[in-house]
Amino acid sequence: MQDLSKGLTRARGIYLDRSQRARELKAEGRRIIGYPCVYVPLEMLTALGLVPYRICGDMKEPVTEADRALPTSFCPIMRTCLDCALKGKNDFLDGMVAIHSSDPQEKTARVWESYTDYPYFHFIDMPVTARSEALEYFVSQLHDFKKTLEEFSGTELSAAKLETAIEHHNRQRALMRDLSELTKPAPPLVSGTEVVQTVKSLMSLPVLEGNELLVEIMTEARNRRDRPERKAARLLTWGSTTDDTDIMQILESKANVVMDESCGGIRAFRSEVRSSPDPIRGLAEYYLNEITCARSFRQAGIGETKKSYDRDLASRFGYLKSIIEEWNIDGAIMLLVRYCDPFAFEMPSLKDYFKELGVPSTYIEYNYTAGSLAPLRTRVEAFLETLS
């Protein structure tokens, strides 16, 4: 009889000890490249046989070493990521790729490069708009990235290799979208906590291993008897990232989180890299235009002179409307990590958009520490009471 329980159990094990598989691959001679943000084009790493490894922080680890490099009034996720690096917790990395997804990440990347001695380090300067000239600049940045990767790996990054890598990563995006479909039933077939564990596992594995894991998880979920309990409300969460199950378990204490619209959820998987005669240009178009993050400014078209707030809201947040309808969302929690200005600036407008759609919402800020969990629980429970 087929073992249907191995997928979610394996994902949980990887989540609890993320570096184990990376260290095994390192021992086998593979080179591991860290990256702190979903905007880094992982396909270019995969195409050269390098293993992408998402760098995450640790809410339970007191920040001490990073204090000598970064101020306290600074993105707490970047602070804890750097702190873990300075404490040697990522000593298996052969390199790191950072990208300008926010000013704190850009500043931290400069410090990171100065304080560590990875054999390879590259920073990608990414535009914050989607205009045609921004695309051309981003294409040039990815060509620079290609050159340094080829020098580091000693291997040519051919179009054929890149196209194959794009296919593998597109397959992972499609599988994650299939997994998100399993949260549509009431009760859902997978919980928000299990989705967090799954996504963080994928960010710790080579893409083909991640795809195999996703197939196992979906096979188990579709046949499971111990599905999550049906709770009083179905929630959408929106924010920068939800990468810790302690946070998700608080959100799910009295509700089902059926859609996590963050970098720890569906955001990096919602669409695919389109086929292009120039695969690097195809990657640039995808990462610049398709990932719905607050760091990107969706400006008016050239020639438009009259501002329409409703049209602006639809342009920036319209993708959420179908999610709210298809997943039967009862309420939305806008979860913000303190000092994350790009997302903080979006909150008032997004709250207006939720109100326009008739969806109750609340805005909660926390500082990404274990001490922030208790007040977070109080705020979540208070909001859920308003939905009953």
Within-domain flag for 70: yes
For 64-85, how does the pLDDT look when each residue is reduced to its tens digit (9 = 90+)? 999 999 999 999 999 999 999 9
2 or 87: which carries more pLDDT confidence? 87
Confidence of residue 2 (pLDDT cuts 50, 70, 90): very low
For 189-237, how does the pLDDT look when each residue is reduced to its tens digit (9 = 90+)? 999 999 999 999 999 999 999 999 999 999 999 999 889 999 999 999 9
Q: Is the dihedral of CA 326, 331, 332, 335 positive or negative?
A: negative
What tokens were used for 169?
Answer: 């990563």
Domain that holds residue 69: 20-162
Within-domain flag for 311: no
Q: Report the b/e string of 280-313 with b at 16+ CB within 10 A.
A: bbbbbbbbbebbbbbbbeeeeeeeeeeeeeeeeb
Average pLDDT over residues 147-171: 98
Enter the pTM of the model. Answer: 0.94
Within-domain flag for 315: no
Within-domain flag for 249: no
Return the SS3 of 378. helix
Decide: 231 and 256 in contact? Cβ < 8 Å: yes
Residue type, 329: I
Confidence of residue 305 (pLDDT cuts 50, 70, 90): low
The pairing of strands 256-261 and 120-124 is: unpaired
Decide: 282 and 273 in contact? Cβ < 8 Å: yes
CATH code at position 60: 3.40.50.11890
Within-domain flag for 97: yes
Average pLDDT over residues 229-255: 94
Please classify residue 181 by burial: count the beta carbons closer than 10 Å to its beta carbon, then call 0-12 exposed, 13-18 middle and 19+ buried. middle
Within-domain flag for 218: no
Within-domain flag for 26: yes
Query: For the chain, how many structural domains are there in total?
Result: 1
The pairing of strands 361-366 and 331-337 is: parallel
Within-domain flag for 351: no
